[in-house]
Amino acid sequence: MERNEMVKYEGAFFFRERVTVDGRDAKGKPTHNEWVGMFNGTDYGVTGDPDSDARAYNKVDDHTLSVWMKKGGKVVGSGKVVVSPDGKTRTVTIIRPGRHHRMVRTTSVYDKV
């Protein structure tokens, strides 16, 4: 199972955000991917992710983002990112195909370092 070790959200140029993810794949190999775009539901390219070539984030409220991962224009996963009101915890729930194309829901909880 893949594991994210560091996820960084930061402002980028012209009102865009940069999301950088570093982690390990199922075999323990380091992974790195980046997305730069706006939280407006529009597809923006992602680099370094073999499972998707675009993501679309949409701001739901001050603590919640919806996300869609796409490959070749087709949705390959979707989810929700929720940051606690104190900003110390981030909960990510993703739904995507697993083995034998059955949908798998994963929930990960991250603490701010």
What parts of the chain have a pLDDT lower than 50? none
- Number of separate domains in the chain: 1
Contact assessment for residue 33 and residue 51, using Cβ atoms and an 8 Å cutoff: no
CATH number at residue 13: 2.40.128.20
- Which pLDDT value is given to residue 35? 95
- Which pLDDT value is given to residue 88? 93
- Which pLDDT value is given to residue 1? 59
Question: In this prediction, what percent of the chain has a pLDDT beyond 90?
Answer: 66
Mean pLDDT of the chain: 91
- Report how far residue 28's alpha carbon sits from residue 24's, in angstroms, rounded to the nearest whole number: 5
- Which pLDDT value is given to residue 45? 97
Alpha helices for 1-113 (secondary structure H): none
Q: Give the structural domain span for 63.
A: 3-111
- Which pLDDT value is given to residue 98? 81
